[in-house]
Amino acid sequence: MTYSIIGATARHTRSVGMERRLAAILSADVQGYSRLMHEDETATIRTLTAYRSLMASLIRQYRGRVVDDPGDNLLAEFPSVVEAVQCAVTIQRTLAVRNAALLPHRQMVFRMGLHLGDIVVEQERIYGAAVNLAARLERVAEGGGLCISGTVYDHVVARLPLDYSVIGVWMGQGTPAPVRVYRVQIGPTARPPIRRLSAPHTRMMWSRASRMARAVRRYRGQCIGLWAEASNHPVCWETRSVNPRSGVGCTRG
């Protein structure tokens, strides 16, 4: 009897077609989409179609998958968080070049949020708190910008030569723990590799010292705000100082 129940349960689970896995989730939407549509629907749809096709192509190049793209939104998943950040930065830089050829009021800029977490996959769709958090990070980002969670930051900060700045800590309903939020520098000011010194050991020592100095500057005097999400209330900020050693612990300032 026990075997029959287990077998029936296994068959039912397989028929549902659900799968749980860890993935990097990218959420994006167009800033000022309503205004663009109001001014010129045809031109907006034409630009959106071209940009979305470009984004989908780049996502595939970085081994990602477009899950859904309703309206001006786009949702994608990646098996690698490093490749997800690389893809998002590449998309934003490529779109910036495309926008430079358009009139300022017709430029289309995307906001992007990226989080790494556990998701539930049913057929081609994805669900879970990680998807919702990526969408919230997207709303924090500026037009043409990228915001990432602390989980993503911890995975990529030592691997990708980009500049990161802390925005704050987000807490909301359904979030069991505070979520650190970082902004990724999209422009060409990302920190370059140091190549001027010729001696290998000197170059290594200088690079290490430079990284340490940047870390001190990044955390020195920075404050973290606490986003308190409450129904029918605006977002509130509470100032807290950053622990420069851990980057995650907070004490009241």
Q: Is the pTM of this model over 0.85?
A: no
> Each residue's pLDDT tens digit in the chain (253 positions)?
433 433 443 444 444 578 999 999 999 999 999 999 999 999 999 999 999 999 999 999 999 999 999 999 999 999 999 999 999 999 999 999 999 999 999 999 999 999 999 999 998 899 999 999 999 999 999 999 999 999 999 999 999 999 999 999 987 766 778 899 999 999 764 444 434 444 454 444 445 556 665 654 554 434 334 343 333 333 433 334 333 334 444 333 3
CB 170 within 8 A of CB 179: yes
Angle subtended by helix axes 81-99 and 41-61, to nearest 10: 150
